[in-house]
Amino acid sequence: MNREQAKQAANKAIDGHAQRLIALGEDIFAHPELGYKEHRTAEKIEAEFRAMGVPYRTGIAVTGLRAELPGPDAAGSGDGKGGGVPRIAIMGELDSVLCPGHPHADPLTGAAHSCGHNAQLMMMLGVGYGLLETGLAGKLAGNVSLMAVPAEEYVELEYRDKLRREGKIRFLGGKQEWIRLGEFDNVDLAMMCHTTGTPPGKTISMGGTSNGFIGKYVRYHGKEAHAGGAPHAGVNALNAAMLGLMGIHANRETFRDDDTIRVHPIITKGGDLVNIIPADVRMETYVRGKRMEAILDAGRKVNRALRAGAMATGAECEITELPGYLPRFNNARMNELFTANAGELVGPETILPPGHTTGSSDMGDVMHLVPGIHPYTGGAAGVGHSESYRIVDPQLAYIMPAKAMVMTIIDLLWDDAAEARRIMAEYVPVYTKESYLAMWEQLFAGE
Ligand SMILES: [Zn+2]
Ligand SMILES: [Zn+2]
């Protein structure tokens, strides 16, 4: 079998599972779960791994699971870096966002798949079936791991901070937690696609760079008093918070356009009872930007503004700094290979070139340790994270990316993994696992 025949065979095998994967993807779409709570979704993926007959592990960072396809080093003991065979990680995210108004939202939790992560899981499974049923898994000069990772959406900071204080997790993002747990120690290249809506006539938007961010969980401590009878005896934490927010807005003109800074706080608790001066007010925010220095600089300004609100009213301001996500930078050669393969499936003219997005993903953290890509693939419509988000083209959303990724894996691992080895040789990691963990621990220790 030559390379082209291998790609066709893998895509044919994926087509054989298309209807079932689409149905499973729609089922998961209708049963959304928030990060580190994706138990039902994990069970569905586990059933697929079991059906594949491959070794797998569950409960990685609470809900994550990982399967190893047959290969030269299926046990996963070696890594390409040490002259062994390269290992490629194919990822799908398990979680949803919170969007109670979405027609498919969970009535109890308000969770909804308004970011299309359910589709990523089907892409990952499609890759597995494509390589297994053709026997390519085991023949290619490298290994493939299928990773269903939890908690990409960086939400419910108070809840996750509590999990952190209980020692259940250390990082709020699932892939960060996997890095800490050593799940990327034997990974050499990483790939995933993220479902999105695309402009008319376009099917894919290749990943270039993205914003990273840090998280902040803020508590204002005031003093309760009767709001009608004796407000003078109280300290209004809500007023402090409002002034803090205004202070942030007053700093926005100092953010450089080129840093694409984004600061978007929410008040998660604004008081207890209407007739009591609020003494306990809570907020969550991100500070995002293109580079970590710019993010930390903007973060200092945000802290200054938040504290100023407290100072103005006599309240106390407690800021918990939380590691966010590092900026993404997609690997150029992997992008080229993926674009060429996807172009055969959807037409090269329908693919948008890499750009900069001001959103973030913990895939950025992975890209600071190993080369990786995160293209945005079409098939969805509506606004991301909103009640209008839906999947309108199941083939494009669930199946096409699986094919484009399996074809790219074949390119990477063909010819004794020449492409993969070249990319690995050229890639310079920004961090080792140890220096990566130390960098974020420093931020934890910040406040
Ligand atoms: Zn999202
Ligand atoms: Zn997403």
Provide the CATH number for the domain around residue 311.
Answer: 3.30.70.360
Cα 260 to averaged position of ligand 2 atoms, centre (Å): 19
Pairing of strands 189-191, 372-373: parallel
Cα 97 to averaged position of ligand 2 atoms, centre (Å): 8
pLDDT band at 442 (very low <50, low <70, confident <90, very high): confident
Cα 390 to averaged position of ligand 1 atoms, centre (Å): 13
Query: Does residue 447 lie within any of the structural domains?
Result: no
Query: Does residue 68 lie within any of the structural domains?
Result: yes
Q: Using alpha carbons only, what angle is made at residue 172 by residues 159 and 106, rounded to the nearest 5 degrees?
A: 55
- Could you report the per-residue pLDDT of 172-223, keeping only the tens digit for each? 999 999 999 999 999 999 999 999 999 999 999 999 999 999 999 999 999 9
The residue length of the chain stands at 447
Q: Could you tell me if 218 and 193 lie in one domain?
A: no
Q: Which has the closest alpha carbon to 421: 85, 69, 187, 74? A: 85
Cα 422 to averaged position of ligand 2 atoms, centre (Å): 30
- Could you report the per-residue pLDDT of 290-323, keeping only the tens digit for each? 999 999 999 999 999 999 999 999 999 999 999 9
**pLDDT value, residue 75:** 57
Cα 113 to averaged position of ligand 1 atoms, centre (Å): 9
Question: Residue 282 CB: number of other CB atoms within 10 A?
Answer: 18
Q: Could you tell me if 218 and 118 lie in one domain?
A: no
Q: Is the pLDDT of residue 92 over 80?
A: yes
Q: Which of 325, 358, 382 is the last residue of a domain?
A: 325
Exposure string over 204-215, b if 16+ CB within 10 A, otherwise e: bbbbbbbbbbbb
Query: Does residue 41 lie within any of the structural domains?
Result: yes
Q: Could you tell me if 66 and 176 lie in one domain?
A: yes
CB contact at 8 A, 25 and 398: yes
Give residue 312's identity as a one-letter amino acid code: A
* Domain around 284: 212-325
Q: What is the CATH number of the domain that holds 19?
A: 3.40.630.10
Q: Could you tell me if 87 and 152 lie in one domain?
A: yes
d(CA 430, CA 422): 18
Q: Could you tell me if 14 and 118 lie in one domain?
A: yes
CB contact at 8 A, 163 and 36: yes
**pLDDT value, residue 114:** 97
Query: Does residue 102 lie within any of the structural domains?
Result: yes
pLDDT band at 444 (very low <50, low <70, confident <90, very high): confident
Q: Which of 308, 325, 342 is the last residue of a domain?
A: 325
Cα 17 to averaged position of ligand 2 atoms, centre (Å): 24
Query: Does residue 257 lie within any of the structural domains?
Result: yes
Cα 77 to averaged position of ligand 2 atoms, centre (Å): 31
Q: Could you tell me if 201 and 216 lie in one domain?
A: no
Cα 115 to averaged position of ligand 1 atoms, centre (Å): 5
Nearest ligand atom owner, CA of 118: 2
Q: Could you tell me if 390 and 315 lie in one domain?
A: no
Q: Could you tell me if 401 and 253 lie in one domain?
A: no
Q: Could you tell me if 136 and 183 lie in one domain?
A: yes
Cα 97 to averaged position of ligand 1 atoms, centre (Å): 7
d(CA 415, CA 430): 28
Query: Does residue 282 lie within any of the structural domains?
Result: yes
d(CA 344, CA 341): 5
CB contact at 8 A, 417 and 359: no
- Could you report the per-residue pLDDT of 7-31, keeping only the tens digit for each? 999 999 999 999 999 999 999 999 9
Total structural domains within the chain: 2
Q: Could you tell me if 36 and 136 lie in one domain?
A: yes
Average pLDDT of the chain is: 95
Cα 162 to averaged position of ligand 1 atoms, centre (Å): 22
Question: For 260-271, what is the mean pLDDT?
Answer: 97
Query: Does residue 180 lie within any of the structural domains?
Result: yes
**pLDDT value, residue 25:** 98
Cα 194 to averaged position of ligand 2 atoms, centre (Å): 6
Q: Which of 267, 297, 325 is the last residue of a domain?
A: 325
Query: Does residue 446 lie within any of the structural domains?
Result: no
**pLDDT value, residue 196:** 97
* Kind and range of the H or E run holding 352: strand 351-352
By the CB criterion, residues less than 5 angstroms from ion ligand 1 are: 115
Q: Could you tell me if 289 and 355 lie in one domain?
A: no
Q: Could you tell me if 250 and 332 lie in one domain?
A: no
The token pair at 136 is: 């390519």
**pLDDT value, residue 76:** 54
Cα 352 to averaged position of ligand 2 atoms, centre (Å): 19
Distances (CA, A) of 360 to 154, 248, 336: 9, 21, 22
